[in-house]
């Protein structure tokens, strides 16, 4: 059981997931923990330095600690902050090492790291299907003694600045990359076909976006598209990305961090799923439509397809376009 706070001098720590999407899916659990603590003790959150600039957008009012590359280098921070209780959402050995100086350390059960934690809980499973990751995080806290929570995102920040380079006309933010691996990436020609129709039908300016590793995917879509198209891949920070998404009229993406960011910011969009499972990592809220062609081998959760990528190739531009049209239709 997470120890009830006994003094305001003792902090509680939540070690957040390392991936942007998972971090966003942990937000309902973070808010649950915060409301359970109320003002009885300070709540700190910790995560990768790469996501620190987004923390004020995603978790306003909470102090975010960037974890150093070397896990033991985090020990001085745990001691300095007088952390009495640390709960880790990632199930890695590395994270169990990071929080080791905290007297109470809890997380998901995983054989070889269990001795490093003072309490472990199994991941929740269901004979009827997948349990969403957001419910896994809430379930962990519930199993550690907190009340039941709901997988609902808090209200988005009231306004984020529009990037100075953003067009004055309405724009379509397209994310053709997926850091997870090629099994998650839809065909560039299919992306191009959907973009073309959306531009024609809705007068949107298309903008290709993504991180530094998404340059190739964006370039492939730009080539398939043929006409001039702006490519901002690798040119925006994670915070810039939030600003671009916040002002996009529509977002077209895969099951990825930008999909969850768009859901967090309540932007309308369509997310293409292939080797992964929407019931497990689907977007929260109701602004993103999932486009998927269910095949018998899906979900396989593989990064590289050992077959013929049928979960992606059988999803046609017409199907995705129809999902986009449905989303873009006036209410």
Options 35-43, 81-89, 114-122, 290-298: segment touching ligand SF4 (CB under 6 A)? 290-298
* Choice from 37, 138, 141, 311 touching ligand SF4 (CB under 6 A): 311
Our CB check for ligand SF4 shows the closer of 96 and 311 to be: 311
Options 116-124, 157-165, 257-265, 308-316: segment touching ligand SF4 (CB under 6 A)? 308-316
* Choice from 290, 302, 316, 325 touching ligand SF4 (CB under 6 A): 302
Our CB check for ligand SF4 shows the closer of 269 and 299 to be: 299
**Does 303 participate in binding ligand SF4 (rule CB under 6 A)?**
no
- Smallest gap from Cβ 299 to ligand SF4, in A, equals 6
Within residues 141-200, the interface with ligand SF4 by CB under 6 A covers: 183
Our CB check for ligand SF4 shows the closer of 183 and 291 to be: 183
- Smallest gap from Cβ 20 to ligand SF4, in A, equals 22
| 172 Cβ contact partners less than 8 Å away, ≥ 6 residues apart | 195, 198, 199, 202, 204, 205, 206, 207, 248, 249, 250, 251, 252
- Smallest gap from Cβ 330 to ligand SF4, in A, equals 35
Count interface residues toward ligand SF4 (CB under 6 A): 14
Using alpha carbons only, give the angle 178, 180, 183 rounded to the nearest 5 degrees: 80
Look at residue 311 and give its three-state secondary structure.
helix
- Smallest gap from Cβ 255 to ligand SF4, in A, equals 12
Angle between helices 317-328 and 188-202 in degrees, nearest 10:
30
Our CB check for ligand SF4 shows the closer of 116 and 312 to be: 312
Options 158-166, 224-232, 245-253, 294-302: segment touching ligand SF4 (CB under 6 A)? 294-302
Using alpha carbons only, give the angle 296, 125, 278 rounded to the nearest 5 degrees: 45
From CA 202, how far away is CA 170, in angstroms rounded?
9
**Does 315 participate in binding ligand SF4 (rule CB under 6 A)?**
no
| 8 Cβ contact partners less than 8 Å away, ≥ 6 residues apart | 39, 40, 41, 42
x-or-dash pattern for ligand SF4, window 219-258, by CB under 6 A? ----------------------------------------
Could you give the C-alpha distances from 151 to 27, 133, 201, in angstroms and in order? 9, 9, 35
CA torsion angle for 129, 130, 136, 142 (degrees, to 10)? -10
**Does 275 participate in binding ligand SF4 (rule CB under 6 A)?**
yes
Our CB check for ligand SF4 shows the closer of 311 and 324 to be: 311
H helical segments located in the chain: 20-25, 27-37, 55-58, 75-80, 93-98, 133-143, 188-202, 215-225, 238-246, 257-264, 278-281, 310-313, 317-328
CB 150 within 8 A of CB 137: no
Using alpha carbons only, give the angle 3, 92, 306 rounded to the nearest 5 degrees: 145
Tell me which residue of 66, 64, 78, 81 sits closest to 10, measured CA to CA.
Answer: 81
**Does 307 participate in binding ligand SF4 (rule CB under 6 A)?**
yes
* Choice from 259, 298, 321, 324 touching ligand SF4 (CB under 6 A): 298
Within residues 11-50, the interface with ligand SF4 by CB under 6 A covers: none
**Does 272 participate in binding ligand SF4 (rule CB under 6 A)?**
no
Radius of gyration of the chain (CA): 21
- Smallest gap from Cβ 146 to ligand SF4, in A, equals 35
Please report, as ranges, the residues that interact with ligand SF4 according to CB under 6 A. Answer: 183, 274-275, 295, 297-298, 300, 302, 305-307, 309-311
């Amino acid at each position: 059981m997470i120890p009830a706070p006994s003094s305001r001098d003792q902090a509680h720590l939540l070690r957040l997931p390392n991936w942007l999407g998972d971090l966003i899916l942990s937000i309902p659990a973070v808010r649950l923990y915060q409301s359970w603590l109320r003002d009885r003790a300070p709540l700190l959150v910790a995560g990768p330095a790469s996501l620190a600039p987004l923390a004020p957008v995603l978790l306003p009012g909470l102090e975010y600690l960037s974890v150093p590359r070397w896990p033991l280098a985090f020990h001085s921070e745990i001691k300095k902050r007088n952390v009495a209780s640390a709960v880790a959402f990632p199930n890695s050995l590395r994270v169990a090492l990071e929080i080791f100086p905290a007297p109470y350390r809890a997380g998901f059960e995983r054989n070889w790291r269990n001795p490093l934690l003072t309490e472990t809980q199994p991941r929740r499973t269901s004979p009827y299907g997948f349990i969403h990751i957001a419910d896994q995080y809430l379930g962990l806290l519930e199993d550690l003694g907190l009340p039941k929570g709901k997988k609902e995102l808090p209200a988005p920040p009231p306004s984020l600045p529009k990037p100075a380079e953003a067009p004055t006309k309405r724009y379509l933010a397209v994310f053709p990359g997926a850091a997870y691996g090629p099994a998650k990436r839809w065909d560039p020609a299919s992306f191009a076909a959907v973009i073309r129709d959306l531009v024609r039908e809705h007068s949107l300016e298309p903008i290709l976006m993504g991180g530094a590793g998404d340059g190739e995917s964006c370039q492939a879509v730009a080539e398939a598209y043929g006409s001039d198209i702006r490519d901002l891949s690798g040119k925006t920070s994670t915070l810039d990305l939030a600003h671009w998404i916040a002002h996009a009229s529509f977002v077209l993406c895969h099951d990825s961090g930008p999909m969850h960011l768009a859901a967090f910011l309540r932007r309308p969009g369509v997310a293409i799923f292939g080797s992964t499972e929407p019931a497990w990592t689907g977007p929260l809220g109701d602004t993103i439509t999932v486009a998927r062609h269910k095949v018998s081998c899906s979900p396989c959760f593989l990064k590289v397809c050992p077959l013929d990528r049928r979960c992606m190739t059988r999803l046609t531009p017409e199907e995705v376009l129809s999902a986009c049209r449905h989303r873009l239709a006036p209410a």
